[in-house]
Amino acid sequence: MTTAPAPTRPRASFDAGEPERDERRRKRRGHLLRLPFYLLALTMIAPFYWMLISVFKTPTELNRHPPSFVPGSPTLNNFYDPDWSATQINPGHLQGVFQRFQVDFGFGRFMFNSLIITIAITVGSLLIASLAAYVIAKHEIKGRRVIFIMIIASMMIPWQTTLIPNYVIMRNLGWLDSYAGYIVPALAKAFVLFFLVQFLQSIPNELIQAARVDGAGEWRIWWQIVLPLLRPALAAMSIFIVLAEWNNFLWPLIIVQSDEMANVPVALARLSSYFGGAQHYGTIMAAGFLASLPTVIFFLVFQRYFTRGIVLSGVKG
């Protein structure tokens, strides 16, 4: 370690400096240039704060003008109101999120649906894409170039182009309103395959060759060697898939008819189209809070992988 108070590493930011200027002035200018962005951060926090406090307000308080910025009498009734009854009107009491839908477990049912669908699609699509990627990257078979180019080309297609025929297919198969309708059409993800192939191409063949010499079959090589090697790439991709599937809206909107089979986004949309008055926004925001909680926690725990995954896919994609 050098002892001299090293000047901050010159970098591409507001700290970039001019010569002949002392450190102090440069720092001051950096702060000055950053100021608008700190103010911008306030406009990021304010909507979230507004959402969060609404979750704990009573219907009366939601209708108050001017609005309160700290809930006067914080309540959890927006999740479940024990004093609400379907048969008699109880002023100041509305159904909580878990009482709004006539399905077992209320909103929990949609969380469960979304969870099942997200896990199935994430695991399933990674498995089949890693199999195909292994073949395309490491097997010398006829047609692999054509297949790969076709898959790359398909990444330029907006998926909405296939929306209507896929809807018709689901209807003909009787898969509307079913888990199969959610999961099966979402399994073959071109960008995942593309990313995995690129990742595998950067891995030397020696390990795989050695396993072959030892007499390991291709399936075993895939399971015991390729999948562990792919782990960082699979982690990056799973983040994208989990976020996309948890928030998927347009496709479920089209294939889901019943309340039972709605995922969280569709349930949220229905909630807000059934109830519009200010007093209902406590419940609606509570539902939004529940919908966001899993992915936000997922993010806060795996924050490092998120940015790395985004950057990795951006650099390669």
Partner 1 sequence: MGTHTAQPQRARLRRYATSYAMLLPFLALFLAFLVWPLANSLFLSFTDFDGITPARLTGLENFGNLLFEDDRFRHALGNTFIYVLASVVIGTLLSLGLALAFSGSSWPHRIMRTIFFLPSVTSSIALMLMWKWIFFPSDVGLANTVVGWLGGSTVQWLATPSLTIPILVLMSVWGGMGYGMVLYVAGLNTIPGEYYEAARIDGATAWQQFRSITLPLLRPVTTYVVVTGLIGAFQIFEAVYIVFRGTNSVGGVLDSGLMIVPYLYDQGFTHFQLGYASAIAWVLFAIIFVISMINLRLGRAMKEL
Closer residue to partner 1 in complex, CB, 91/314: 314
| Torsion angle of the four alpha carbons 214, 218, 223, 228, in this order, in degrees rounded to the nearest 10 | 70
Q: Are 125 and 188 in contact (CB under 8 A)?
A: yes
Q: Nearest approach, Cβ of 165 to partner 1 (angstroms)? A: 4
Closer residue to partner 1 in complex, CB, 82/276: 276
Give the DSSP letter of residue 58: -
Residue 129 binds partner 1, judged by CB under 8 A: yes
Phi-psi category of 20—alpha, beta or left, where left has phi over 0 and alpha has psi -120 to 50? left
Closer residue to partner 1 in complex, CB, 6/86: 6
Residue 281 binds partner 1, judged by CB under 8 A: yes
Q: Tell me the longest C-alpha to C-alpha distance in the chain.
A: 79
Which residue reads 């399933």 in tokens? 124
The piece of 60-68, 75-83, 99-107, 227-235 that touches partner 1 (CB under 8 A) is 60-68
Q: Nearest approach, Cβ of 46 to partner 1 (angstroms)? A: 8
Residue 75 binds partner 1, judged by CB under 8 A: no
Residue 37 binds partner 1, judged by CB under 8 A: yes
Residue 5 binds partner 1, judged by CB under 8 A: no
Six-digit token pair at 204?
A: 């030397």
Residue 139 binds partner 1, judged by CB under 8 A: yes
> Burial code of 132-165, b = ≥16 C-beta within 10 A, e = fewer?
bbbbbbbeeeeebeeebeebeeeeeeeeeeeeee
Neighbours of 247 (CB within 10 A): 15
> Contact with partner 1 (CB under 8 A): which of 243, 259, 275, 305?
243
Q: Are 137 and 127 in contact (CB under 8 A)?
A: no
Our separate counts of H helices and E strands in the chain read: 15, 0
What span, in angstroms and rounded, lies between the C-alpha atoms of 7 and 88?
A: 72
What span, in angstroms and rounded, lies between the C-alpha atoms of 50 and 77?
A: 18
The piece of 46-54, 76-84, 94-102, 230-238 that touches partner 1 (CB under 8 A) is 46-54
> Contact with partner 1 (CB under 8 A): which of 60, 63, 73, 90?
63
Handedness of CA 217, 219, 222, 224 (dihedral sign): negative
Residue 231 binds partner 1, judged by CB under 8 A: no
Residue 161 binds partner 1, judged by CB under 8 A: yes
Neighbours of 288 (CB within 10 A): 20
Residue 198 binds partner 1, judged by CB under 8 A: no
Q: Are 255 and 182 in contact (CB under 8 A)?
A: yes
Residue 48 binds partner 1, judged by CB under 8 A: yes
> Contact with partner 1 (CB under 8 A): which of 136, 230, 233, 241?
136
Residue 205 binds partner 1, judged by CB under 8 A: yes
**Interaction mask 297-316, partner 1, x per CB under 8 A:** -xx---x--xx--xx--xx-
Closer residue to partner 1 in complex, CB, 98/222: 222
H-type alpha helices, 83-139: 107-138
> Contact with partner 1 (CB under 8 A): which of 217, 228, 257, 258?
217
Residue 268 binds partner 1, judged by CB under 8 A: yes
> Contact with partner 1 (CB under 8 A): which of 180, 190, 203, 229?
190
Closer residue to partner 1 in complex, CB, 99/194: 194
| Residue (of 283, 289, 299, 224) closest to 96 by Cα position | 283
